[in-house]
């Protein structure tokens, strides 16, 4: 089935998405996505922050402000990825033992295509994990997905019409709890990682061919973070946390920029920056939140013993905002680690919060979304909404809409659903 993509000027798109002005000169590295897209894990800026001007609803329910909903086959914790007229999801059907990418119409929620990537070999251990916990990435032309399968991690590229273009084995993989890393698109590369007892790797592959351009070996330790590219300390850095260290690489070459101890072994969250520091949170063998200077000095600016294991954190105006797994919202000053406030929300949290303007949207495992201001002086809640019975994946917020993957009961059975929440016209 053909898919009509919007054609945007390369310079406009590149300048919009990349923190590096040089990207605006690289015609061959075009990324054809728009301002109202959510093209990869943690959104257009890779930090959980929606683009300026977004105005999604602050109130909804199963019967209010729902533009559409559609059943999702299989099971997964991957976030919806929204590019052009389509929404993409990764899913795993454990009964059929298959891993696939799903495509839906952005306006109506109607299924467009389903592309099976693997048949047999799903790897999952922890009961809360799935065979499709990582989000896909889309550059407007191709869709990239990572799956752990048959003792290895594979990176696969599909066209936006669902045709498989290439598949590359990234690394051997020994299952510990599960696998949930998401790929990152950067210039001409797609960057992927896999950390396990079988040995770890982070690598940059050519987006068009799947050929490995560079590879950086990692320790033989389990870890669950995704590669994140941020502009910090004056340059683009590819950042990885976990495996007992902060790691910074040049995203185009894989050259090590700096590496320093300061994280715990097993991390899940994706790092963010305040421009000078990057932040790691982890849960095993110790719980911690730590800040490392990103200038290569190796300095650990501060550390706390708080447990923020699964939901990634947010940065705004020199402050960090997080939701602990145990359901406690917290704010720290980013340069010192000083705690500004804590507030118990209730429930447990796996999904990462999203920042929209000065509002934080944080959804717990029971489907309750708390909307509160990113205010460093106090917890200031605006709304609280219920949708579905279980939410483990993070939402995408773009085009004034919220795309949420959840589980609800249909005819007494648990059914995964994809919802689009939008203001009723």
pLDDT in tens, 16-65: 444 333 333 333 587 889 999 999 999 999 999 999 999 999 999 999 99
Q: Is 106 left (phi over 0), alpha (psi -120 to 50) or beta?
A: alpha
pLDDT bucket at 177, cuts 50 / 70 / 90 = confident
pLDDT digits (tens, 9 = 90+) for 247-300: 999 999 999 999 999 999 999 999 999 999 999 999 999 999 999 999 999 999
pLDDT value of position 425 = 76
Under 8 Å CB-to-CB from 12, ≥6 apart: which residues? none
Count of beta carbons in the 10 Å neighbourhood of residue 95: 7
Buried/exposed code over 335-365 (b: 16+ C-beta within 10 A; e: otherwise): eebeebeebebeeebbbbbbbbeebbbbbbb
Distance CA 178, CA 350 (A): 14
User: Do you know the residue count of the chain?
Assistant: 425
The residue among 241, 304, 307 whose CA lies nearest residue 272 is 241
Mean pLDDT of 60-77: 97
Question: Residue 152's Cα: distance from chain center in Å?
Answer: 21
* Backbone phi and psi for residue 20, each to the nearest 5 degrees, phi listed first: -105, 115
Q: Has residue 99 got a pLDDT over 70?
A: yes
Q: Has residue 175 got a pLDDT over 50?
A: yes
The number of C-alpha atoms within 13 Å of 158 and in the hemisphere containing its C-beta is 26
- 164-172/368-373 β-pairing: unpaired
Mean pLDDT of 190-212: 97
pTM reported for the whole predicted model: 0.93
Mean pLDDT of 99-124: 96
Under 8 Å CB-to-CB from 95, ≥6 apart: which residues? none
Q: Has residue 14 got a pLDDT over 50?
A: no
**Which of 25-34, 127-136, 226-235 has the weakest average pLDDT?**
25-34
Q: Has residue 416 got a pLDDT over 80?
A: yes
**Which of 124-138, 204-218, 254-268, 331-345 has the weakest average pLDDT?**
124-138
Q: What is the rounded average pLDDT for all residues in the chain?
A: 92
The residue among 32, 50, 53, 34 whose CA lies nearest residue 42 is 50
- 142-149/314-316 β-pairing: unpaired
Q: Has residue 107 got a pLDDT over 50?
A: yes
pLDDT value of position 300 = 96
pLDDT value of position 28 = 54
Edge-to-edge strand list for the sheet holding 413-421:
66-71, 413-421, 401-410, 396-398
Q: Is 370 left (phi over 0), alpha (psi -120 to 50) or beta?
A: beta
pLDDT value of position 317 = 97
């Amino acid at each position: 089935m053909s898919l009509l993509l919007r054609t945007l000027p390369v310079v406009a798109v590149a300048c919009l998405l990349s923190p590096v002005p040089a990207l605006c000169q690289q015609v061959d590295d075009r990324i054809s996505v728009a301002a109202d897209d959510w093209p990869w894990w943690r959104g257009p800026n890779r930090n959980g922050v929606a683009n300026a001007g977004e105005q999604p609803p602050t109130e909804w329910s199963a019967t209010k402000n729902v533009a559409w909903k559609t059943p999702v086959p299989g099971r997964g914790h991957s976030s919806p990825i929204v590019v052009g007229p389509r929404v993409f999801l990764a899913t795993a059907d454990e009964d059929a033992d298959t891993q696939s990418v799903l495509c839906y119409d952005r306006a109506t929620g109607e299924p467009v295509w389903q592309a099976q990537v693997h048949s047999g070999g799903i790897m999952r251990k922890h009961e809360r994990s799935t065979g499709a916990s990582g989000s896909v990435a889309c550059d407007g032309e191709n869709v990239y997905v990572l799956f752990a399968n048959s003792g290895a991690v594979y990176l696969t590229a599909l066209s936006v019409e669902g045709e498989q273009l290439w598949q590359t084995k990234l690394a051997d993989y020994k299952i510990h709890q599960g696998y949930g890393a998401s790929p990152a698109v950067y210039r001409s590369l797609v960057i992927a990682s896999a950390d396990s007892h079988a040995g770890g790797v982070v690598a940059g592959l050519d987006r068009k061919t799947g050929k490995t351009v560079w590879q950086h070996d990692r320790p033989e330790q389990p870890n669950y973070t995704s590669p994140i590219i941020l502009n910090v300390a004056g340059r683009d850095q590819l950042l990885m946390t976990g495996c007992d260290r902060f790691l910074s690489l040049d995203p185009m070459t894989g050259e090590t920029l700096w590496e320093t101890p300061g994280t715990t072994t097993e991390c899940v969250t994706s790092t963010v920056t305040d421009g000078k520091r990057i932040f790691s949170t982890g849960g095993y063998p110790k719980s911690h939140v730590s800040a490392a200077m990103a200038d290569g000095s190796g300095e650990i600016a501060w550390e706390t013993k708080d447990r923020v294991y699964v939901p990634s954190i947010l940065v705004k105006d020199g402050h960090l905002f997080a939701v602990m797994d145990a359901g406690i919202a917290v704010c720290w000053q980013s340069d010192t680690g000083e705690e500004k406030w804590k507030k118990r929300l209730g429930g447990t949290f796996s999904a990462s919060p999203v920042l929209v303007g000065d509002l934080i949207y944080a959804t717990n495992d029971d489907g309750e979304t708390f909307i509160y201001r990113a205010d460093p002086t106090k917890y200031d809640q605006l709304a609280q909404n219920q949708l579905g019975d279980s939410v483990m994946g993070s939402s995408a917020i773009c085009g004034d809409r919220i795309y949420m993957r959840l589980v609800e009961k249909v005819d007494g059975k648990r059914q995964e659903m994809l919802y689009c929440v939008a203001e009723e016209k």
